[in-house]
Amino acid sequence: MDRACSQTRVHILTLGWKAGGRGIGDVMARPPAIFVGDAPGLDFLNSIATPVDAPIDWIDDGEGFASWLEQARLVSVDALTSIRAHALPGELDKVADQARSLREWFRGFVREHKGRALAAGDLVQFEPLNRLLERDESFSRIVPQFGGGSEPFELLMARRWRTPEALLLPIGEALAQLICTEDFSHIKACEGPACTLLFADHTRGHARRWCSMALCGNRAKQAAHRHRAKAHRVQLEDSGF
Ligand SMILES: [Zn+2]
Protein backbone atom coordinates (compact mmCIF):
# COMPACT_ATOMS: atom_id res chain seq x y z
CA MET A 1 0.00 0.00 0.00
CA ASP A 2 1.25 3.49 -0.75
CA ARG A 3 0.93 4.79 2.78
CA ALA A 4 2.23 8.30 2.22
CA CYS A 5 -0.30 8.79 -0.54
CA SER A 6 -3.26 7.30 1.27
CA GLN A 7 -2.55 9.28 4.39
CA THR A 8 -2.36 12.63 2.69
CA ARG A 9 -5.95 11.92 1.74
CA VAL A 10 -7.01 11.71 5.38
CA HIS A 11 -8.27 15.20 6.03
CA ILE A 12 -7.92 15.80 9.73
CA LEU A 13 -9.85 18.52 11.50
CA THR A 14 -9.40 19.84 15.01
CA LEU A 15 -12.73 20.82 16.49
CA GLY A 16 -13.95 21.49 20.02
CA TRP A 17 -10.57 21.29 21.73
CA LYS A 18 -10.31 22.11 25.43
CA ALA A 19 -8.46 25.14 26.77
CA GLY A 20 -5.08 24.67 28.48
CA GLY A 21 -1.41 24.66 27.52
CA ARG A 22 1.68 22.52 27.19
CA GLY A 23 5.06 23.21 25.66
CA ILE A 24 7.21 20.96 23.54
CA GLY A 25 8.96 18.38 25.71
CA ASP A 26 12.20 16.47 25.29
CA VAL A 27 11.28 14.98 21.95
CA MET A 28 14.54 16.20 20.42
CA ALA A 29 16.44 13.76 22.66
CA ARG A 30 14.93 10.76 20.86
CA PRO A 31 16.32 9.43 17.58
CA PRO A 32 13.83 9.15 14.70
CA ALA A 33 11.31 6.35 15.24
CA ILE A 34 11.64 3.05 13.36
CA PHE A 35 9.26 2.26 10.48
CA VAL A 36 10.24 -1.15 9.14
CA GLY A 37 6.98 -3.03 9.82
CA ASP A 38 5.51 -2.45 6.33
CA ALA A 39 2.16 -2.05 8.13
CA PRO A 40 1.22 0.89 10.39
CA GLY A 41 -0.18 -1.48 13.05
CA LEU A 42 3.19 -3.26 13.31
CA ASP A 43 5.09 0.03 13.26
CA PHE A 44 3.08 0.92 16.36
CA LEU A 45 4.29 -2.27 18.08
CA ASN A 46 7.81 -1.31 16.99
CA SER A 47 7.54 2.03 18.82
CA ILE A 48 9.61 0.37 21.54
CA ALA A 49 12.85 -1.22 20.33
CA THR A 50 16.55 -1.66 21.01
CA PRO A 51 18.23 -0.30 17.87
CA VAL A 52 21.71 -0.35 19.50
CA ASP A 53 22.22 -1.35 23.15
CA ALA A 54 19.61 0.44 25.24
CA PRO A 55 15.87 0.04 24.70
CA ILE A 56 14.07 3.17 23.50
CA ASP A 57 10.36 3.72 24.00
CA TRP A 58 9.28 6.43 21.56
CA ILE A 59 5.92 6.82 23.29
CA ASP A 60 7.06 6.84 26.91
CA ASP A 61 5.40 10.22 27.52
CA GLY A 62 2.80 12.46 25.92
CA GLU A 63 5.22 14.49 23.83
CA GLY A 64 6.93 11.33 22.58
CA PHE A 65 3.54 9.91 21.67
CA ALA A 66 2.57 13.05 19.73
CA SER A 67 5.90 13.04 17.94
CA TRP A 68 5.55 9.36 17.03
CA LEU A 69 2.04 9.97 15.63
CA GLU A 70 3.46 12.78 13.51
CA GLN A 71 6.35 10.64 12.23
CA ALA A 72 3.92 7.80 11.50
CA ARG A 73 1.72 10.32 9.60
CA LEU A 74 -1.29 9.12 11.55
CA VAL A 75 -2.20 12.63 12.76
CA SER A 76 -1.57 15.88 10.87
CA VAL A 77 0.98 18.41 12.08
CA ASP A 78 -1.78 21.05 12.38
CA ALA A 79 -3.92 18.83 14.60
CA LEU A 80 -0.94 17.96 16.81
CA THR A 81 0.12 21.58 17.15
CA SER A 82 -3.34 22.46 18.36
CA ILE A 83 -3.44 19.48 20.72
CA ARG A 84 -0.05 20.40 22.22
CA ALA A 85 -1.19 23.99 22.68
CA HIS A 86 -4.52 23.15 24.30
CA ALA A 87 -3.93 19.99 26.33
CA LEU A 88 -4.13 20.31 30.11
CA PRO A 89 -0.95 19.49 32.04
CA GLY A 90 -0.47 15.74 32.18
CA GLU A 91 -3.30 15.03 29.74
CA LEU A 92 -1.06 13.86 26.89
CA ASP A 93 1.02 11.76 29.28
CA LYS A 94 -2.15 9.96 30.36
CA VAL A 95 -3.07 9.20 26.76
CA ALA A 96 0.49 7.91 26.18
CA ASP A 97 -0.03 5.54 29.17
CA GLN A 98 -3.17 4.22 27.48
CA ALA A 99 -1.35 3.91 24.16
CA ARG A 100 1.37 1.80 25.79
CA SER A 101 -1.26 -0.48 27.38
CA LEU A 102 -2.98 -0.83 24.00
CA ARG A 103 0.39 -1.57 22.37
CA GLU A 104 1.34 -4.32 24.83
CA TRP A 105 -2.13 -5.90 24.72
CA PHE A 106 -1.94 -6.03 20.92
CA ARG A 107 1.66 -7.28 20.96
CA GLY A 108 0.46 -10.31 22.96
CA PHE A 109 -2.15 -11.00 20.30
CA VAL A 110 0.30 -10.66 17.38
CA ARG A 111 2.96 -12.81 19.07
CA GLU A 112 0.41 -15.53 19.64
CA HIS A 113 -1.08 -15.44 16.14
CA LYS A 114 1.77 -14.51 13.79
CA GLY A 115 2.78 -17.24 11.34
CA ARG A 116 -0.73 -18.50 10.68
CA ALA A 117 -3.88 -17.09 9.09
CA LEU A 118 -6.48 -15.67 11.46
CA ALA A 119 -9.69 -17.66 11.90
CA ALA A 120 -13.31 -16.55 12.44
CA GLY A 121 -13.06 -17.76 16.04
CA ASP A 122 -10.42 -15.11 16.80
CA LEU A 123 -13.08 -12.38 16.65
CA VAL A 124 -13.90 -12.56 20.35
CA GLN A 125 -10.36 -11.40 21.14
CA PHE A 126 -10.87 -8.12 19.28
CA GLU A 127 -13.58 -6.93 21.65
CA PRO A 128 -11.34 -4.33 23.41
CA LEU A 129 -10.30 -2.99 20.00
CA ASN A 130 -13.89 -2.81 18.77
CA ARG A 131 -14.80 -0.85 21.90
CA LEU A 132 -12.07 1.67 21.08
CA LEU A 133 -13.22 1.93 17.44
CA GLU A 134 -16.79 2.64 18.58
CA ARG A 135 -15.62 5.93 20.11
CA ASP A 136 -14.56 7.33 16.76
CA GLU A 137 -16.16 10.56 15.58
CA SER A 138 -15.18 10.36 11.98
CA PHE A 139 -17.25 11.85 9.20
CA SER A 140 -16.87 12.53 5.51
CA ARG A 141 -16.70 15.86 3.63
CA ILE A 142 -16.94 16.92 0.01
CA VAL A 143 -13.70 18.68 -0.96
CA PRO A 144 -12.01 19.75 -4.22
CA GLN A 145 -10.48 16.83 -6.11
CA PHE A 146 -7.05 16.15 -4.66
CA GLY A 147 -5.75 13.36 -6.84
CA GLY A 148 -6.21 15.06 -10.23
CA GLY A 149 -9.20 12.91 -11.24
CA SER A 150 -11.74 13.96 -13.85
CA GLU A 151 -14.44 15.00 -11.33
CA PRO A 152 -14.05 18.38 -9.55
CA PHE A 153 -14.86 16.99 -6.06
CA GLU A 154 -14.11 14.00 -3.90
CA LEU A 155 -15.29 12.61 -0.57
CA LEU A 156 -12.70 12.61 2.22
CA MET A 157 -12.80 11.14 5.70
CA ALA A 158 -12.21 13.51 8.61
CA ARG A 159 -12.17 13.15 12.38
CA ARG A 160 -13.17 15.40 15.30
CA TRP A 161 -10.54 15.57 18.04
CA ARG A 162 -12.84 16.34 20.97
CA THR A 163 -10.68 14.78 23.68
CA PRO A 164 -6.98 13.90 23.90
CA GLU A 165 -7.99 10.22 23.98
CA ALA A 166 -9.04 10.66 20.35
CA LEU A 167 -5.33 10.31 19.53
CA LEU A 168 -5.81 6.58 20.19
CA LEU A 169 -8.35 6.31 17.38
CA PRO A 170 -6.01 6.40 14.36
CA ILE A 171 -3.96 3.75 16.14
CA GLY A 172 -7.05 1.63 16.74
CA GLU A 173 -7.79 1.98 13.04
CA ALA A 174 -4.24 0.89 12.10
CA LEU A 175 -4.52 -2.19 14.33
CA ALA A 176 -7.94 -3.02 12.88
CA GLN A 177 -6.56 -2.62 9.35
CA LEU A 178 -3.78 -5.04 10.21
CA ILE A 179 -6.32 -7.60 11.39
CA CYS A 180 -8.60 -7.13 8.41
CA THR A 181 -6.12 -6.73 5.54
CA GLU A 182 -2.90 -8.56 6.43
CA ASP A 183 -2.29 -12.29 6.08
CA PHE A 184 -0.99 -13.17 9.54
CA SER A 185 0.88 -16.11 7.97
CA HIS A 186 3.39 -13.54 6.74
CA ILE A 187 3.76 -11.50 9.91
CA LYS A 188 7.19 -12.24 11.31
CA ALA A 189 9.56 -11.36 14.11
CA CYS A 190 13.05 -10.27 13.02
CA GLU A 191 15.54 -13.14 13.39
CA GLY A 192 18.12 -10.85 15.01
CA PRO A 193 18.90 -12.56 18.34
CA ALA A 194 18.24 -9.50 20.49
CA CYS A 195 15.76 -7.79 18.14
CA THR A 196 12.09 -7.35 19.03
CA LEU A 197 10.93 -5.76 15.76
CA LEU A 198 7.98 -7.20 13.87
CA PHE A 199 7.14 -6.85 10.18
CA ALA A 200 4.75 -7.99 7.49
CA ASP A 201 6.73 -9.89 4.87
CA HIS A 202 5.45 -8.55 1.56
CA THR A 203 8.44 -9.80 -0.44
CA ARG A 204 7.92 -12.16 -3.35
CA GLY A 205 8.48 -15.66 -2.01
CA HIS A 206 8.11 -14.33 1.55
CA ALA A 207 11.80 -14.74 2.28
CA ARG A 208 12.32 -11.62 4.42
CA ARG A 209 14.20 -12.45 7.65
CA TRP A 210 15.33 -9.13 9.06
CA CYS A 211 13.78 -5.91 10.29
CA SER A 212 16.33 -4.21 8.03
CA MET A 213 19.77 -4.94 6.63
CA ALA A 214 21.14 -1.88 8.43
CA LEU A 215 19.92 -2.95 11.86
CA CYS A 216 20.15 -6.75 11.87
CA GLY A 217 20.84 -8.19 8.41
CA ASN A 218 24.40 -6.90 8.20
CA ARG A 219 25.13 -7.97 11.77
CA ALA A 220 24.00 -11.49 10.89
CA LYS A 221 26.10 -11.47 7.71
CA GLN A 222 29.18 -10.35 9.67
CA ALA A 223 28.57 -13.01 12.34
CA ALA A 224 28.23 -15.68 9.63
CA HIS A 225 31.43 -14.44 7.98
CA ARG A 226 33.31 -14.58 11.32
CA HIS A 227 31.94 -18.07 11.93
CA ARG A 228 33.09 -19.25 8.47
CA ALA A 229 36.52 -17.64 8.89
CA LYS A 230 36.96 -19.34 12.28
CA ALA A 231 35.87 -22.72 10.88
CA HIS A 232 38.37 -22.25 8.03
CA ARG A 233 41.18 -21.48 10.51
CA VAL A 234 40.34 -24.56 12.58
CA GLN A 235 40.35 -26.65 9.40
CA LEU A 236 43.79 -25.30 8.42
CA GLU A 237 45.16 -25.93 11.91
CA ASP A 238 43.76 -29.47 11.92
CA SER A 239 45.47 -30.15 8.59
CA GLY A 240 48.79 -29.08 10.09
CA PHE A 241 49.18 -25.71 8.32
ZN1 LIG B 1 16.04 -6.83 13.72
6 CA distance to ligand 1 middle (Å): 27
CA dist 83 to 10, 13, 78, 115, 149, Å? 18, 11, 9, 38, 33
User: How far is Cα 147 from Cα 81, in angstroms, rounded to an integer?
Assistant: 26
User: How far is Cα 156 from Cα 182, in angstroms, rounded to an integer?
Assistant: 24
Average pLDDT for the chain: 85
pLDDT tens per residue across span 133-169? 999 989 999 999 877 778 899 999 889 888 899 999 9
35 CA distance to ligand 1 middle (Å): 12
Largest pairwise CA distance in the chain:
81
Confidence of residue 10 (pLDDT cuts 50, 70, 90): very low
pLDDT at site 235: 67
Least confident of 66-80, 194-208, 224-238: 224-238
58 CA distance to ligand 1 middle (Å): 17
Least confident of 74-88, 113-127, 144-158: 144-158
217 CA distance to ligand 1 middle (Å): 7
pLDDT tens per residue across span 167-219? 999 999 999 999 999 999 999 999 999 899 999 999 999 999 999 988 898 87
56 CA distance to ligand 1 middle (Å): 14
Q: Is the pLDDT of residue 39 over 60?
A: yes
Q: What share of the chain is helix, strand, coil (3-state, %, to 5)?
A: 50, 10, 40
Report the SS3 class of residue 38.
Answer: coil
Confidence of residue 61 (pLDDT cuts 50, 70, 90): very high
User: How far is Cα 182 from Cα 45, in angstroms, rounded to an integer?
Assistant: 15
213 CA distance to ligand 1 middle (Å): 8
Instruction: Give the global pTM.
Output: 0.80
Confidence of residue 114 (pLDDT cuts 50, 70, 90): very high
Q: Is the pLDDT of residue 23 over 50?
A: no
pLDDT at site 96: 98
Task: Specify whether the backbone of 195 is left (phi greater than 0), alpha (psi in -120 to 50) or beta.
Answer: beta
Q: Is the pLDDT of residue 2 over 70?
A: no
What's the CATH number for 3-209? Answer: 1.10.3300
User: How far is Cα 190 from Cα 194, in angstroms, rounded to an integer?
Assistant: 9
